[in-house]
Structure 1
Amino acid sequence: MARIGYARVSTIDQDLDIQHAKLKAEGCSVIRAEKVSGGSRDGRTELATVLDFLRPGDELVVTRLDRLGRDTRDVLNLIHECEQRGAFVTVLDPHVSTRGEMGHIVLTVLGMVAQMERRFIKERQRDGIERAKGEGVYQGGKRRIDRERILALHSNGAGATTIAKAIGCSRMQVYRVLQS
């Protein structure tokens, strides 16, 4: 039986040290961590690794339930997948485990709270953007793709697949840039 820790923060400028220390203090023999949004499972390769690694009797440990995800259905599906593998899920704050029936109820409620909190965050973000637009100071989000490099590679005869690999994006994103 292994205790496997999973730590997650949403952005690359956030720190994983506190979660890592708490998981280590709880006796987690393996700790996987990543910096990616918890809104969905997309791009959460470390979580996928943990789920693949779980064996019967193992325990997945997270510091808070929202580290697993911010969508109630997704969190409940993750817990279900762990149980299908014969593993348990333990949340440290507040201390809840799927080892007991009451733990399932509490985790469901906490999952709903995490989802609601995500909606509030998005609402506040949207309000802030609208206010900044009204004041004329909104600059827009950071461009994630180097459009000029895509156009340069395309003008040199590179195809969408080659460009996507060179830039580190999808072909669809390349096509969107080329069409605009």
Structure 2
Amino acid sequence: MALIGYARVSTQDQSLDAQITALTNAGCVKIYHGKQSGKSDDNWKKLDELIDYSREGDIVVVTAFDRLGRSLNQVLSKVDALSKKGVHIKTLDGQIDTSNGSPMAKAFAQLLGVFAELEHSIITDRLQSGRVRTGRLGGRTPKLSAEQRKEVKMRLKNGESKLKLSKEYSVSRATILNIENE
């Protein structure tokens, strides 16, 4: 078991010193840190390196829970990745400690799962509502209009060749077959 620290600040103006000192004083043997905007991929690469480095039974220590991401979704994603590896999380502000196996720690882990599922459901619902509102329900737009499809069906019934129709409408033979099988 190792204590692994993670420190992050959002801007170049901010200092990591206080976080690094606190993590060192907490006994962290290795400290990963990022001094970039939360949007920066480099920042998350450091956290991903920490996740790769950590082993089952290790404890990732942060000064506050929000250091793990800019949004609840990002935080939950990182917590999930750590949990799947059997890595615990502890905050120096005392809010979270999943390493002690207490009923509160277990409840917290389950609550995080509930919030992750809720956030996913909300995002999915918003996407679907937007699609319905704009009329863009997803999928590729058909190469042939409804009128052209009717025309193709009629011509197929009259015995015209699929190859000839595919060339005329500039579509694949498979598209003509799909229209025939509708």
Distance 2:62 2:40 in 1: 16
Question: How much has 1:57 moved relative to structure 2?
Answer: 0.7
Deviations 1:73-95 (A, max 9, x none): 21111111111111101111134
Q: State the partner residue of 2:41.
A: 42
Question: How much has 1:6 moved relative to structure 2?
Answer: 0.3
Alignment length (residue pairs):
111
Matches within 5 A, 1:73-88: 73-88=73-88
| Moved segments of 4+, more than 4 Å | none
Distance 1:95 1:26 in 2: 15
Deviations 1:133-157 (A, max 9, x none): xxxxxxxxxxxxxxxxxxxxxxxxx
For the pair shown, the structure with the greater C-alpha radius of gyration is: 2
Distance 1:48 1:37 in 2: 16
TM-score scaled by structure 1?
0.55
Matches within 5 A, 1:148-163: none
Q: State the partner residue of 1:105.
A: 108
Q: State the partner residue of 2:30.
A: 30
Deviations 1:68-115 (A, max 9, x none): 11211211111111111111011111341123452353884xx99xxx
Give percent identity, aligned residues only.
41
Distance 2:98 2:76 in 1: 11
Q: State the partner residue of 2:13.
A: 13
Aligned Cα RMSD in Å? 2.7
Distance 1:14 1:41 in 2: 15
Query: Residues 97 and 41 (structure 1 numbering): CA distance in 2 closer, same or farther, change over 3 Å?
Result: farther
TM-score scaled by structure 2?
0.54
- State the AA in 2 paired with 1:4: I
Q: State the partner residue of 1:4.
A: 4
Q: Secondary structure at 2:66's aligned position in 1?
A: helix
- State the AA in 1 paired with 2:104: M
Query: Residues 87 and 47 (structure 1 numbering): CA distance in 2 closer, same or farther, change over 3 Å?
Result: same
Distance 1:102 1:56 in 2: 21
Distance 2:81 2:40 in 1: 13
Question: How much has 1:67 moved relative to structure 2?
Answer: 0.9
Q: Secondary structure at 1:96's aligned position in 2?
A: coil
- State the AA in 2 paired with 1:105: F
Stretches of structure 2 that go unaligned for 5 or more consecutive residues are 117-182
